[in-house]
């Protein structure tokens, strides 16, 4: 996670860099230098070099406008010479290293270490590029605090205060705190995170003062966005099953629509690849073939292979034939079929017939 955050900060710095290099195709002529690439093109090359799985992790830490920009640049990207790719990777490695130094000991500490390893001018250039994009986030000191210590510190606070703090934490740390809160507080905090929209800098600073911690002054007076349904989904996905069930059931009583939206996002159809072969076979016994053929319409080969592998050869052949002869479908119809199957999977999990893998759960019973 630290590496993904460092990469995201480096990408943010690169995409904000000025300069109007030629198009990706023109820039990709045989040159070992990257000076003809724009910052956005460098970021696109870097992400492509990381591979889809690691890039997806990095995307979680980028703003929506940055993701849109980079998606466009990746689509335009043409052939890049190996020497150029290596130069881009080296540049991003240096920026990520600098970001790690900043996170550990601050800008002065980072500059000192970079000067020793890279020289004075290069260190200054890297620091300037990073600090132009870095923003001081609220509760920065808390994100470096052990969750168990933080739990003792905040569990007596008002649920709104707890929700605000958890919204700024990494999901894996926030989940530890959430699952250890009293049951009557868990659902209250979960709902507050899910319905949280924007929090003014004045409120953030007041909460920080109440916590009696010395923090950096907020560098941006704009309203800060935190929380929302996806934030609480990321957190709940990593709590233990008992806590998840308790939170969802309480939300179902208090706000059924919110609970349903959270459940929809917690396990998506693509996650079927996370199930064991045995569990996929169990699910297939409950799924109508016509729904399955529609659900697989826009899926990648990994998902399709997982399904086909757990069907008889005859059934798989018939399913493939149905898909081959199927005409265009509305995206809404495809998503509805996928959601029906997800509902079946979650029902089977509730009855203990299948197991959905969760982060941090490795016990076998």
- Per-residue b/e over 91-111, b at no fewer than 16 CB within 10 Å? bbebbbbbbbbbbeeeeeebb
CB 164 within 8 A of CB 226: yes
Q: Please, what sign has the CA dihedral across residues 209, 212, 218, 223?
A: negative
Other C-beta atoms lying within 10 Å of the C-beta of residue 58: 23
Distance of CA 97 to the CA centre of its chain: 21
pLDDT value, residue 139: 61
pTM exceeding the 0.75 threshold for the entire prediction: no
- In this structure, CATH architecture of domain 267-350: Orthogonal Bundle (1.10)
Q: What's the pLDDT at 223? A: 41
Q: Could you give the dihedral angle defined by the CA atoms of residues 110, 116, 119 and 120, in that order, rounded to the nearest 10 degrees?
A: 50
CATH 1.10.220.30 placement within the chain: 142-262, 267-350
170-208 burial, b at 16+ Cβ within 10 Å, e below that, comes to bbbbbbbbbbbbeeeebbbbbbbbbebeebeeebbeebb
Q: Which two tokens stand for residue 288?
A: 């109508």
Right CATH for 142-262 from 3.50.50.60, 1.10.220.30, 3.40.190.10, 3.40.50.920: 1.10.220.30
- pLDDT below 50 — which residues of the chain? 18-32, 135-136, 212-225, 359-365
Per the prediction, the chain carries an average pLDDT of 75
Neighbours of 275 (CB within 10 A): 22
């Amino acid at each position: 996670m630290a590496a993904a955050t460092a990469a995201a900060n480096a990408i943010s710095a690169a995409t904000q860099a000025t300069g109007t290099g030629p198009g990706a195709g023109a820039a990709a002529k045989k040159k070992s230098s990257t000076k003809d690439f724009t910052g956005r093109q460098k970021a696109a090359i870097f992400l492509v070099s990381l591979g889809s799985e690691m890039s997806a992790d990095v995307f979680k830490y980028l703003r929506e406008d940055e993701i849109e920009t980079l998606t466009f640049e990746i689509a335009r990207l043409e052939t890049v010479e190996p020497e150029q790719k290596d130069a881009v990777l080296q540049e991003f490695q240096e920026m990520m290293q600098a970001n790690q130094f900043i996170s550990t000991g601050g800008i002065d500490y980072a500059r000192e270490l970079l000067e020793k390893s890279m020289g004075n001018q290069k260190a200054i250039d890297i620091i300037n590029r990073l600090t132009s994009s870095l923003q001081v986030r609220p509760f920065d000191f808390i994100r470096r605090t052990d969750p168990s210590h933080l739990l003792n510190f905040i569990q007596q606070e008002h649920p709104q205060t707890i929700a605000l703090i958890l919204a700024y934490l990494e999901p894996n740390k926030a989940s530890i705190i959430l699952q250890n809160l009293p049951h009557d507080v868990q659902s209250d905090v979960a709902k507050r995170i899910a319905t949280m929209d924007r929090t003014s800098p004045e409120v953030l600073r007041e909460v920080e003062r109440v916590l009696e911690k010395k923090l950096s002054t907020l560098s941006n007076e704009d309203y800060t966005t935190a929380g929302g349904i996806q934030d609480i989904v990321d957190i709940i996905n990593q709590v233990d099953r008992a806590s998840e069930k308790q939170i969802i059931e309480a939300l179902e009583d208090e706000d059924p629509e919110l609970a349903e939206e959270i459940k929809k996002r917690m396990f998506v159809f693509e996650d079927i690849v996370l199930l064991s072969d045995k569990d996929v076979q169990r699910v297939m016994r409950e799924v109508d073939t016509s729904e399955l053929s529609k659900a697989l319409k826009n899926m990648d080969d990994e998902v399709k292979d997982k399904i086909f592998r757990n069907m008889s050869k005859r059934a798989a052949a018939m399913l493939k034939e149905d898909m081959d002869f199927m005409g265009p479908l509305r995206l809404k119809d495809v998503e509805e079929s996928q959601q029906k199957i997800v509902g079946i999977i979650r029902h089977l999990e509730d009855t203990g017939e299948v197991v959905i893998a969760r982060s941090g759960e490795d016990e076998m019973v």
